[in-house]
């Protein structure tokens, strides 16, 4: 079976995708710098799949290390690229760090893929490329607007770099997957979302607050033009999301697509407000959450949820799990990690 490189493969989405790849029979090699992950995730992947993936600790900002990896693994057939900094708020405060880490590393990877006789590349993109969309749900044809944050801008620029490269490198085929908001964990509770330090995403902050690690959840603004005043997002279960990467990769490896470069939205097609997520958690966990409404956060769009028709029609993929499933699995994972 083909060898697949997964960068950031010990992270939240990466680890779940590694599970799907290994269960489908692929040989997986993980690169991760462990800046926001743990080597212990390997044990969780092994517990689920019965196979320990190969792992190399590499900082993709080190060009020489990237070159050395591809000399050693010249038989890589596909790359799924997750490794990136991903916090909207942090990117506003540290833009240069985000451009260096998210753009420079992508260029180094593509330079190596250009040398191969054939290569398939899946890019971890984001619905942030749309900014505050004019129409909802958001289709892949929606205009890519000026980004609301440096993080969002790195995803826009990343897509442009890949598209431009694919135009002139006929041996490279790529798909950019524009995720909405990944949540939840594997049903086994062997892997899940475990950010280092203070969580930047809503759901781990919810579960850590319920577990007593965080004193209070801050809800950023309740004066948005939405039914309950809080921001609306499309929360997709991470297992559904991981399965989409497998389907997209197989589309490239089997040469079914005519285009060298494609984009797909990955979401549920349904928007949920921050308060609806809180209510879902309280419902499935029987825990009362301590939360407080605070000022809006810079860089947040009001509402974003996906039109998923293209992924369904062309990839044959759609979500199977809902928000309650995601919150239930996230809490199960948190309880296991914390011994709650």
Q: What DSSP letter does each residue of 115-149 carry, written as one string?
A: TSSSEEEEEEEEGGGG-S-SSSSBPTTS--PPPSS
283-300 pLDDT tens trace: 999 999 999 999 998 878
Residue 203: per-residue pLDDT: 97
152-172 pLDDT tens trace: 999 999 999 999 999 999 999
Active-site annotation holds for 291:
no
In 3D, which of 152, 266, 273, 267 has the Cα closest to residue 202?
A: 273
Report the chain's mean pLDDT, rounded to a whole number.
Answer: 95
Residue 258: per-residue pLDDT: 63
Reduced to 3 DSSP states, what percent helix, strand and coil does the chain have, rounded to the nearest 5?
Answer: 40, 20, 40
Question: Model-level pTM?
Answer: 0.96
Would you place residue 88 in the very low, low, confident or very high pLDDT band (cuts 50, 70, 90)?
confident
Would you place residue 110 in the very low, low, confident or very high pLDDT band (cuts 50, 70, 90)?
very high
Catalytic entry in 98, 151, 224, 305: 151
């Amino acid at each position: 079976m083909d060898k697949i490189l997964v960068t950031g493969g010990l992270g939240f989405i990466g680890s779940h995708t590694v599970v799907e790849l290994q269960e489908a029979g692929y040989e997986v090699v993980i690169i991760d710098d462990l800046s926001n992950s743990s080597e212990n995730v390997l044990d969780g992947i092994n517990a689920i799949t019965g196979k320990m993936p190969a792992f190399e600790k590499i900082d993709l900002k080190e060009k020489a290390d990237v070159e050395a990896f591809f000399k050693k693994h010249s038989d890589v057939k596909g790359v799924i690229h997750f490794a990136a900094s991903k916090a909207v708020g942090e990117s506003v405060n540290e833009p240069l760090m985000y451009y260096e880490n998210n753009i420079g590393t992508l260029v180094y990877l593509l330079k190596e893929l250009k040398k191969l006789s054939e290569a398939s590349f899946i890019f971890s993109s984001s619905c942030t490329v749309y900014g505050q969309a004019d129409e909802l749900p958001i289709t892949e044809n929606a205009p890519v607007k000026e980004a609301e944050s440096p993080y969002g801008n790195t995803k826009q620029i990343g897509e442009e770099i890949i598209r431009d490269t694919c135009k002139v490198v006929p041996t490279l085929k790529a798909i950019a997957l524009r995720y909405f908001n990944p949540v939840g964990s594997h049903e086994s509770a062997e892997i899940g979302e475990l950010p280092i330090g203070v969580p930047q995403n809503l759901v781990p902050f919810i579960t850590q607050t319920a577990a007593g690690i965080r004193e209070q959840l801050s809800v950023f603004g309740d004066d948005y033009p939405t039914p309950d005043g809080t921001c609306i997002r499309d929360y997709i279960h991470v297992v559904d999301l991981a399965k989409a990467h497998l389907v997209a990769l197989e589309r490239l490896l089997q040469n079914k697509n005519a285009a060298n470069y494609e984009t797909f939205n990955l979401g549920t097609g349904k928007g949920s407000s921050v308060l609806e997520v809180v209510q879902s958690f309280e419902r499935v966990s029987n825990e009362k959450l301590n939360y407080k409404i605070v000022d809006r956060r810079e860089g947040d769009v009001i509402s974003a949820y996906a039109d998923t028709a293209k992924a369904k029609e062309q990839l044959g993929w759609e979500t199977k799990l809902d928000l309650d499933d995601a919150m239930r699995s996230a809490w199960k994972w948190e309880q296991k990690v914390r011994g709650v």
